[in-house]
């Protein structure tokens, strides 16, 4: 009976264990240079963090745009990369890409992609995007915007 109760308890613990997503995408858009209009302290802090180091109004304008923070998890010891594909408002159907090679020995991490400054002003905001985590030449996780085809 004792072994049965231990087995049931073990199954309950394993069943309730939190499984983590291999790819989580957080998006932030900074459209203006104002700092005082945020009611949420977390949003205000994130905006201050994005403008850090920009002294003049021109430097602050170059920080306007869209930021993508990616939290990833994958097997260590395998060649990995993150591929960010996106389309902007003024560039038609052209799909642009950004790529980051990840450390082979690391099993998790955080990467950031940004569409800011002249790229944001000239080509417009990002309308649709897809982010893929590729390990060993195969896509192991993918997140995309609603409009991505």
Long-range contact pairs involving 143-149 (C-beta distance under 8 Å, separation at least 24): 143/23, 143/24, 143/25
Instruction: Specify the pLDDT at position 60.
Output: 82
pLDDT at 134 over 70: yes
Q: What pLDDT shows up at residue 52?
A: 77
Lowest mean pLDDT among 11-20, 71-80, 108-117: 11-20
- Whether 12 maps to a domain, the answer reads no
Say yes or no to pLDDT of 53 above 90.
Answer: no
CB 22 within 8 Å of CB 72: yes
Tokens standing for residue 85: 């594909």
CB 37 within 8 A of CB 48: no
Confidence bin at 11 (pLDDT 50/70/90)? low
User: Does the pLDDT at position 123 exceed 80?
Assistant: yes
Decide: 90 and 126 in contact? Cβ < 8 Å: no
Do the domain assignments include residue 91?
Answer: yes
pTM score above 0.75: yes
pLDDT at 12 (0 to 100): 56
pLDDT of residue 120: 93
| pLDDT at res. 149 | 80
Of 14-18, 28-32, 144-148, the one with minimum mean pLDDT is: 14-18
Q: How far is CA 121 from the centre of its chain?
A: 21
Task: Note down the domain range covering 95.
Answer: 19-30+66-144
| CATH for 124 | 2.60.40
Q: Is residue 2 part of a domain?
A: no
Task: Kindly report the average pLDDT of the chain as a whole number.
Answer: 84
Residue 10 located in a structural domain: no
* 52 falls within a domain: no
- Name the residue among 135, 76, 70, 79 with its Cα closest to residue 109: 70
Report the number of distinct structural domains present in the chain: 1
């Amino acid at each position: 009976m004792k072994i049965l109760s231990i087995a049931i308890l073990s199954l309950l613990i394993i069943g309730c264990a939190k499984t983590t997503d291999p790819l989580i995408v957080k998006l932030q858009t900074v459209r203006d240079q104002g700092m005082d209009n945020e009611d949420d302290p977390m949003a205000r802090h994130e905006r201050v963090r994005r403008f850090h180091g920009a002294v003049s109004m021109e430097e602050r304008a170059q920080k306007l745009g869209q930021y993508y923070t990616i939290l990833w998890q994958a097997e260590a010891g395998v060649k990995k990369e993150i591929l960010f594909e996106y389309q902007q408002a003024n560039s038609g159907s052209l799909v642009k890409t950004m790529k980051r090679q990840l450390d082979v020995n690391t099993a998790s991490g955080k990467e950031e992609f940004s569409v800011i400054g002249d790229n944001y002003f000239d080509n417009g905001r990002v309308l649709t995007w897809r982010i893929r985590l590729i390990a060993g030449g195969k896509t192991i996780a993918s997140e995309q915007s609603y409009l991505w085809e």
